Amino acid sequence: MARNPFQTLTEPMFYILLALREECSGVDVMARVEEISHGRVRVGPGTLYALLPKLEDAGLIARTREEGRQKWYVLTGIGSSMLETEVRRLRQMLADAEGALRG
């Protein structure tokens, strides 16, 4: 059986989905990721523009409009569910790590 490429999200994917809770263009996504992560994570254009079509094809984001070469996207319901699932997974990992480090 083929593995779902979005079963767990990479750090750039996670932050891109967070940024797309509100409609924005690719350039805006890069700025929002940096803002959300307080400068810790930066998604470059190569990474972003390789991921956007994959996220769109998977139904996690939707293109809302296009003007020339600039495109805007927003998180879909499926994307929102995926993001919430990932947040729960990360919380559980953190709880497991804290428990293991205490014990």
User: Which of 15, 4, 9 shows the shortest CA–CA distance to 90?
Assistant: 9
Q: Which residues contact 45 (CB under 8 A, 6 or more apart)?
A: 26, 30
Q: In the chain, what are the domain boundaries? A: 11-102
> How many angstroms separate the CA atoms of 98 and 94, rounded?
6
The amino acid at residue 12 is: P
The amino acid at residue 38 is: H
Q: What pLDDT does 1 receive?
A: 45
In CATH, what is the architecture of 11-102?
A: Orthogonal Bundle (1.10)
Along the 103 residues of the chain, how does pLDDT read in single tens digits? 444 666 789 999 999 999 999 999 999 999 999 999 999 999 999 999 999 999 999 999 999 999 999 999 999 999 999 999 999 999 999 999 999 999 7
Longest dimension (CA), the chain: 57
Q: What pLDDT does 103 receive?
A: 79
Extract the tokens encoding 44.
Answer: 């470059």
